[in-house]
Amino acid sequence: VTEALRALEAEAARALAYEGNAPANWVMPRNGVDHDILIVGGGQSGLALSFALRRSGIARLSSIEAQPAGQAGIWDTPARMRTLRTQKTLVGPDMGFVPLSFPRWYEAQHGIGSFDAVTRADRTDWADYLRWFEAQSGAAIRHDTRLVRLEPDGEHFRVHIERDGVASVEVSRKVVLATGLLGMGTPSVPPILTEGLPSSRYRHTSQQIDFIALADKDVGVIGTGASAFDAAAVALEAGAASVHMLCRKPAIPTLQVNQPRGYPGAADNYPELPDAVRWTLFNRVSRGGTPPPTDSVLRVIEAPNFHIYLATEISTVRVENGRIVAATNREPMTLDFIVAATGYLQDPRLRPELADVAAHIALWQDRFEAPVTEANPALATYPYLGPGLQFVERVPGAAPYLKNLHCYTAAAALSFGRLIGDLPSMAWGISRLTSALTKDLFYQDFDRHRERITSQSTSVEFNDDLYRSRVWAAT
Ligand SMILES: Cc1cc2nc3c(=O)[nH]c(=O)nc-3n(C[C@H](O)[C@H](O)[C@H](O)COP(=O)(O)OP(=O)(O)OC[C@H]3O[C@@H](n4cnc5c(N)ncnc54)[C@H](O)[C@@H]3O)c2cc1C
């Protein structure tokens, strides 16, 4: 196994060399700037972007990641599914560079043809693959390093970071936030839980949950999305006495609402659609809900101690005689612990590291007034992004540096019509962001580039002597 993997690594290195590896840096230096681009987040998006940018000739590039080496992203925690929810054949962070792709990595360990038998990638395999990709792609991510404050400095940023409790400041010309589902907001936890229960009695799915401690306990799960089913499954597998899933709607969503617009013409040109169309389409998904994957449902559906309550909503909760008593629109429930599978709020104003800039960021509510029938406060606070995934000023001229701050997170979904960060969006999203970044870095310094591109070439194909012997000379 190791031998085949080492052979693949050698092949990848050779293939990169044949392809010219990374072109020489072409970005014009600026005084006092440490990085032309700083990528915040070393999950699969940060990895993919770093690989793509270096192959576009951007060398003064740096990546930071809050988690220790090997622990970036969601795949070890909090993801709880057995396999990825997405197709096995989607382009990953290799962006089509086959020797560093998941299928090649998988077959190097399990034999040629073994990938045919995979239905969806195993979650732990995917986490292992990303660790391998990080090492092989030369991402040089600085781990244990957290962005704590982004301070505008002219059109650049003073980036305040913390590593092992030590604070420092670096200056970056552009910053990309590839900080995941929580990067532009917070978990959305129903206030009835925060107000009615001690924090030891509930968790959001994005948090660590001690499922072993839930053995023999009665567990409530609010929500019916993928994470709700995964949490229910892990609780049951850990020996929970019972799991009670609460669904506010009269039925669990089964419709893939986005399916009619999944073809490339519509999906790729989505950002140019009028705001009203983008709002309507996204609001339909937001209201209709996303179906949980069939595999996640199958994982729990046979358990006799698993129950689904349709059209059921908790109105109050309190602890009584050591147990949670939940009043609902039906009979009350007695539980020991509640898992909130209730999604995320997207709003840059909720992020402490963005405190200096958030008030200047245009949100959808600043740019678009939804018709009353389509009002949705949860969507109104999504950032209204420009075509290169850059933030836009709320008041034009008030914060010109925002054109150099890019948002490659789930909060881009309303502007782009996709869950930016996941695998289905990767090839398109990373290509789009890479070309936006290279375009900005080129045109922001166009005067210097014009000088360079119109200068006299120094590249000589061959010396005149090569053909001198054949030059006709009149006798
Ligand atoms: C339970 C679950 C299951 C999912 N399953 C799938 C699936 O099967 N297929 C799929 O394509 N997508 C899936 N997704 C969507 C998933 O979130 C993304 O595909 C993937 O995690 C996106 O990668 P990312 O790099 O954008 O974000 P993340 O993986 O979240 O990585 C972001 C990184 O940024 C770091 N970070 C955040 N803030 C800072 C800071 N201030 N300073 C430094 N570093 C910071 C974090 O530590 C983290 O490592 C799933 C999501 C969840 C929650």
- Tokens standing for 375? 């009002």
Q: Which atom of ligand 1 is nearest to the CA of 422?
A: 19
How confident is the model at residue 474, as a pLDDT?
A: 83
Residues having CB within 6 Å of any atom of ligand 1: 40-46, 64-67, 72-74, 79, 84-86, 146-147, 178-181, 183, 227, 353, 421-423
Q: Which atom of ligand 1 is nearest to the CA of 120?
A: 8
Integer angstrom CA distances of residue 71 from 41, 67, 134, 137, 406: 11, 6, 11, 17, 24
Q: Report how far residue 443's alpha carbon sits from residue 36's, in angstroms, rounded to the nearest whole number.
A: 14
For residue 387, give the DSSP letter: T
How confident is the model at residue 283, as a pLDDT?
A: 97
How confident is the model at residue 22, as a pLDDT?
A: 86
Dist. CA 216 → ligand 1 center (Å): 32
How confident is the model at residue 1, as a pLDDT?
A: 64
Residues near 9 by beta carbon (within 8 Å), at least 6 away in sequence: 136
Dist. CA 452 → ligand 1 center (Å): 40
- The pTM assigned to this predicted structure is 0.96
Dist. CA 2 → ligand 1 center (Å): 29
Q: Report how far residue 347's alpha carbon sits from residue 184's, in angstroms, rounded to the nearest whole number.
A: 6
Q: Report how far residue 390's alpha carbon sits from residue 399's, in angstroms, rounded to the nearest whole number.
A: 12
Q: Which atom of ligand 1 is nearest to the CA of 44?
A: 25
Dist. CA 473 → ligand 1 center (Å): 71
Q: Which atom of ligand 1 is nearest to the CA of 178?
A: 26
Dist. CA 74 → ligand 1 center (Å): 5
Residue 402, φ and ψ in degrees, nearest 5: -65, -20
How confident is the model at residue 273, as a pLDDT?
A: 97
Q: Which atom of ligand 1 is nearest to the CA of 227?
A: 1
3-state secondary structure of 433: helix
Which residue is closest in CA terms to ligand 1's atom 3?
Answer: 79
- The single-letter code of the amino acid at 376 is N
Which residue is closest in CA terms to ligand 1's atom 26?
Answer: 421
Q: Which atom of ligand 1 is nearest to the CA of 67?
A: 47
Dist. CA 112 → ligand 1 center (Å): 30
Q: Report how far residue 116's alpha carbon sits from residue 124's, in angstroms, rounded to the nearest whole number.
A: 18
Phi-psi region of 122 (alpha: psi -120 to 50; beta: other; left: phi over 0): beta
pLDDT tens track, the chain, 475 positions = 689 999 999 999 999 999 877 899 999 999 999 999 999 999 999 999 999 999 999 999 999 999 999 999 999 988 999 999 999 999 999 999 999 999 999 999 999 999 999 999 999 999 999 999 999 999 999 999 999 999 999 999 999 999 989 999 999 999 999 999 999 999 999 999 999 999 999 999 999 999 999 999 999 999 999 999 999 999 999 999 999 999 999 999 999 999 999 999 999 999 999 999 999 999 999 999 999 999 999 999 999 999 999 999 999 999 999 999 999 999 999 999 999 999 999 999 999 999 999 999 999 999 999 999 999 999 999 999 999 999 999 999 999 999 999 999 999 999 999 999 999 999 999 999 999 999 999 999 999 999 999 999 999 999 999 999 999 998 7
Q: Which atom of ligand 1 is nearest to the CA of 420?
A: 26
Dist. CA 43 → ligand 1 center (Å): 6
Dist. CA 370 → ligand 1 center (Å): 30
- Tokens 């989505």 belong to residue: 270
Of the CA atoms within 13 Å of residue 204, those in its CB half-sphere come to 14
Dist. CA 179 → ligand 1 center (Å): 7
Q: Report how far residue 89's alpha carbon sits from residue 94's, in angstroms, rounded to the nearest whole number.
A: 12
The pick from 67, 80, 422, 430 for probing ligand 1's pocket by mutation, whose C-beta has the most ligand atoms within 8 angstroms, reads: 422
Dist. CA 354 → ligand 1 center (Å): 19
Which residue is closest in CA terms to ligand 1's atom 1?
Answer: 79
Q: What is the pLDDT of residues 300-322, one digit of tens each?
A: 999 999 999 999 999 999 999 99
Question: Minimal CA–CA distance to 186: which of 343, 44, 359, 385?
Answer: 343
Q: What is the pLDDT of residues 277-304, one digit of tens each?
A: 999 999 999 999 999 999 999 999 999 9
